[in-house]
Structure 1
Amino acid sequence: MLEVRVLFFARSRELAGTNETTVSLEDGSSTKTLLLLLFQQYPQLEELRGNFVFSLNHEYLGTDEEQQLKAGDEVAVIPPISGG
């Protein structure tokens, strides 16, 4: 098992009802596995499906990019930011 820290920003924080959580995953899990688990744990996040980016240890990932996770990784869920 591995644990990763998940940070929620802006609208994702509102939908999840928290600014961070720790998630336990099977060894060898990927960001895709994490995303599916987050949608199960926080169904309200479905509102953002396809409309946010992940960062893994402070590096942005493409919306379809999949990365293997390691224990202690930090993943951020970052929705689009509006403003001017």
Structure 2
Amino acid sequence: MASQPTITVLYFAAASTATGLTEELFILPETPFPLSTLASLITSRHPNKGLEKILGTSSWSVNAEMVDDPEKTSLRGGEEVAVICPVSGG
């Protein structure tokens, strides 16, 4: 029996604060899995944490490469996906 495909999601800044985690393992419900739907998978695991807004303004990286268009990126398992929250400075 083949093992289920998994990804590691890394949380930074507001996403880490909201989830209380710096990283988390997810089993992909299907492969290929569109990166554009990962936010809904994360928020379903962490309801009522305000993640919809945080993830809606965040950028994504897959295996340390920034993603320009999440709609065109698919996950197959084994990837490390980082949630890059916007930051402000002064």
CA deviations on 1:9-66 (whole Å, 9 max, x unpaired) are: 0111000110000000122112123221011112321131421101111111136543
**Percent identity, aligned pairs only?**
36
Check the 8 A contact 1:6/1:21 in 2, yes or no: yes
Once superposed, what is the RMSD of the aligned Cα atoms?
1.6
Per the alignment, residue 36 of structure 2 pairs with 32
Q: Tell me the residue number matched to 1:3.
A: 6
Tell me the distance in 2 between the aligned counterparts of 1:32 and 1:57. Answer: 16
Structure 1 unpaired stretches of 5+:
none
Structure 2 vs 1, CA of residues 21 and 49 (structure 1 numbering), >3 Å: closer, same or farther?
A: closer
2:39–2:55 Cα contact (<8 Å) kept: no
Between the two proteins, the alignment pairs up a number of residues equal to 84
Instruction: After TM superposition, list the pairs within 5 Å mapping 1:2-81 onto structure 2.
Output: 2-25=5-28, 26-43=30-47, 44=49, 45-62=51-68, 64-81=70-87
Give me the whole-angstrom Cα distance separating, in 1, the residues matched to 2:89 and 2:40.
29
d(CA) in 1 for partners of 2:36, 2:59: 12
Larger radius of gyration: 2
Q: What 5-or-longer segments of structure 2 have no aligned partner?
A: none
